[in-house]
Copies of this chain bind each other. A is one copy, B any other.
Amino acid sequence: MKFNIALLAGDGIGPEVINEAVKVSDAIAKKFNHEINWTPALTGACAIDAVGVPYPDETHEICMAADAVLFGAIGHPKYDNDPSAPVRPEQGLLLMRKKLGLFANVRPTFTFPSLIDNSPLKRERIEGTDLIFLRELTGGIYFGEKGRKDDGETAFDTCTYTRAEVKRLAKKGFELAMTRSKKLCCVDKANVLETSRLWRETVQAMEKEYPEVTVSYEFVDAVAMRLVQWPNSYDVLITENLFGDILTDEASVISGSMGLMPSASVGEHTSLYEPIHGSYPQATGLNIANPLATVLSAAMMFEDAFGLKEEAEAIRAVVNKSLEQGIVTEDLAGKDAKAYKTSEVGDWLVANL
């Protein structure tokens, strides 16, 4: 098969981790007789520096024309202390999500046996955790009307959802639950918010189409607690944009393997794969960043975007092997163990595929 992949390396360590994912993807393609055509494009702070906007039209066209998008990370400290700056890297991210119609962010949290002791949680709490959040990504308070009134003394943000928006996200949740343990948790704040009541009634109405799926409804504050107490009691969770932002980040640290967690954003026009970690500016250029989350994001891309399960499994297998053999960057290396460079990990993966 032949694929066109848009390559958005972004800022900070983005280019370094993307580089290793490209090496591994190319090696897999070669092994399985596929051809990948990579098209790099600018986004984030580096796009602002180059052309003045964080998500240039040209980048958008490249993404629209591609079979999938592989994304690194964006964000630069020079924008960090001024969230009201007129142009910011995050705006590029939000615009990209909206324009590409990436309405569902798929965020798994799972554990690696060899890394379980990195978790801040006790072993018996985290063992066996294997959950997936589906976060709505193009609606809610992120994209509602916002502004100032009363000479700037009053600020407002509007959270809006339509039944159709809830339905298409929930549909993905039910479908995903059907491929797993048939347990779906709808996270909302229906005791306070009207949008949450719309979420809940919409999901409730869909239950009869999926009679095998057991649906539970939990308030966001309760989920924030149980994620720390009994993360392994969850399977598939669906939620709106802002709750998803908070809870998926909370979930990402409990496994102790944040540097390994991949994600996908899927939707109307294409799909995008990215590590959940950020641009980690302090590590930029040092060749020390952990490339595995990006490599595993590429695996998700092979499986979900191209339907190539065997290729994806081959990538996951070699990643597992690298972990078992301690071929890891400094964030995962034990106290007295050797820490490998970003590129060395990538080279090892390619050599051992």
Which chain A residues have a beta carbon within 8 Å of chain B's beta carbons? 81, 83-84, 88, 90, 94, 120-122, 125, 141-142, 144, 146-148, 150, 152-164, 189-198, 200-201, 217, 220-222, 224-225, 227-229, 242-243, 245-247, 249-250, 252-254
Contact = CB atoms under 8 A, between A and B. Distances in A.
Contact of A162 (B141, B150, B200, B224): B150
Given A221-B245, A224-B247, A249-B224, A157 B229 contact: no
Nearest to A217: B81
B125 A144 contact: no
A200 B81 CA distance: 10
Contacts of A147: 194
A116 to B, nearest CB: 12
27 contacts: A83-B190, A84-B197, A84-B201, A90-B191, A120-B229, A121-B228, A141-B192, A141-B193, A146-B195, A147-B194, A148-B198, A153-B162, A154-B161, A155-B160, A155-B194, A155-B195, A155-B197, A156-B161, A156-B195, A189-B245, A220-B246, A221-B245, A221-B249, A224-B224, A224-B249, A225-B249, A229-B253
B157 A194 contact: yes
Contacts of A200: 83
A222 B249 contact: yes
A200 to B, nearest CB: 6
From A141, A201, A222, name the one whose CB has the most chain B CB atoms within 10 angstroms.
Answer: A141
B156 A144 contact: yes
The secondary-structure label for the interface of chain A is helix
A228 B121 CA distance: 8
Contacts of A191: 83, 88, 90
Given A147-B194, A153-B164, 16 more contacts: A83-B190, A88-B191, A141-B141, A150-B162, A156-B158, A156-B159, A156-B160, A156-B195, A157-B159, A157-B193, A221-B246, A225-B249, A225-B253, A227-B250, A228-B228, A243-B246
B242 A228 contact: no
Nearest to A90: B191
A157 B191 CA distance: 13
A159 B254 CA distance: 30
Contacts of A229: 120, 253
Nearest to A220: B246
